[in-house]
Structure 1
Amino acid sequence: MRRILFVCLGNICRSPLVEAVARASLAEAGLAVAVASCGTGDWHAGEGADPRMLAAAHAAGHDLSRHRARQLRERDFVEHDLLLAMDRANLRDLRQRAPAPELAAKAALFLEWSGAAPPVEFPDPWHGDEAGFAAAVALAERSVAALVERLRHASR
């Protein structure tokens, strides 16, 4: 089974949203892919998703209520086939923290890898308003649909 890790900064907005959307979409597509998420930073470890993201996701039918943030671990590079970063700063952090060059090669930008770009980077709604969170949900749904299509074609 393929394993994908979605990575953002604090693991309370973008990556848990994309994880939840991907989990549901991949199951609906009948693809055997395990997904998880984490952050490069540790300051939100153990916390739930941002309340604004919870509300925006819930309004679109996605449940993030069980999410608990965690920080990237060295073993994530071994346990996952693909580590998809939400932006270039997260990608740089992933590649710098990889325990070996061949493991750093597993890291890519989520929107670029999925084929959903533009944009190339998934904007962080944390500093914005509710509209930014709703836009993040729409982008997650669109980009995960592209990810599912790419994985579907790869499995043929």
Structure 2
Amino acid sequence: MGTPSVLFVCLGNICRSPTAEGVFKHKAMQNGFDVKVDSAGTAGYHDGHAPDKRSQQVASHKGYDLSRLKCRKVTEADFETFDHIIAMDKANVRDLKRKCPENLQHKISLFLSYANSEFEEVPDPYYGGGKAFELVIDLIEDAADGLLFKLSQSLKAG
């Protein structure tokens, strides 16, 4: 088994999925885990833009740098390229499954299925205040730890 690859997906790739990309990349590197990580949105509202300043600020306070990330839309090639396509909410899962070839839909999962949380979805903080962004990063950190554990277990088994 080669280097695992993970694509984090939300609606606009401006808040949640770039935060997940930055947090997961950081945690993987800290743990000596070689993984390819990217993020995208189901809609291309913010193509080419940096992540939301509020996401960057909350992430920075916790030691994560999102400043070099650029927003993009999910492409057909992503379904082939990535081993794991991880959605922030159920609407993202539905949108991804509509676009994804049936034989690759097993790659799609809900991010908080890897977390120890009463939340099922990472809520969209875009129209919320600072507390919404803080909740999002807390949920993402928890789920990132769970996903790293799962990937490391499957690498040991493989």
Judge same fold: TM > 0.5, yes or no. Answer: yes
Q: How many residue pairs align between the two structures? A: 154
Cα displacement string for residues 106-137 of structure 1 (whole angstroms, at most 9, x for unaligned residues): 1111111x243431111111111011111111
Equivalent AA in structure 1 for residue 25 of structure 2: R
Q: Which residue of 2 aligns with 1:41?
A: 43
Q: Which residue of 1 aligns with 2:105?
A: 104
TM-score computed with the length of structure 1 as normaliser? 0.94
> 1:103 offset after TM fit, Å?
1.2
Q: Which residue of 1 aligns with 2:69?
A: 67
Q: Is 1:130 aligned to 2:137, yes or no?
A: no
Q: How far apart in 2 are the matches of 1:115 and 1:129?
A: 23
- 8 Å contact from structure 1 (residues 6, 83) kept in 2: yes
Q: Which residue of 1 aligns with 2:28?
A: 26
> 1:105 offset after TM fit, Å?
2.0
For residues 3-14 of structure 1, the aligned pairs below 5 Å read: 3-14=5-16
TM-score computed with the length of structure 2 as normaliser? 0.93
| SS of match in other structure, 1:4 | strand
- 8 Å contact from structure 1 (residues 111, 118) kept in 2: no
- 8 Å contact from structure 2 (residues 112, 120) kept in 1: yes
Equivalent AA in structure 1 for residue 21 of structure 2: E
Q: How far apart in 1 are the matches of 2:145 and 2:137?
A: 12
Q: How far apart in 1 are the matches of 2:17 and 2:116?
A: 16
- 8 Å contact from structure 2 (residues 117, 139) kept in 1: no
Equivalent AA in structure 1 for residue 66 of structure 2: L
Q: Which residue of 2 aligns with 1:91?
A: 93
Q: How far apart in 1 are the matches of 2:116 and 2:18?
A: 18
| SS of match in other structure, 1:126 | coil
Q: CA RMSD in A?
A: 1.1
Q: How far apart in 2 are the matches of 1:22 and 1:142?
A: 10
Q: How far apart in 2 are the matches of 1:9 and 1:22?
A: 19
> 1:10 offset after TM fit, Å?
0.3
Q: Which runs of 5 or more structure 2 residues have no equivalent in the other structure? A: none
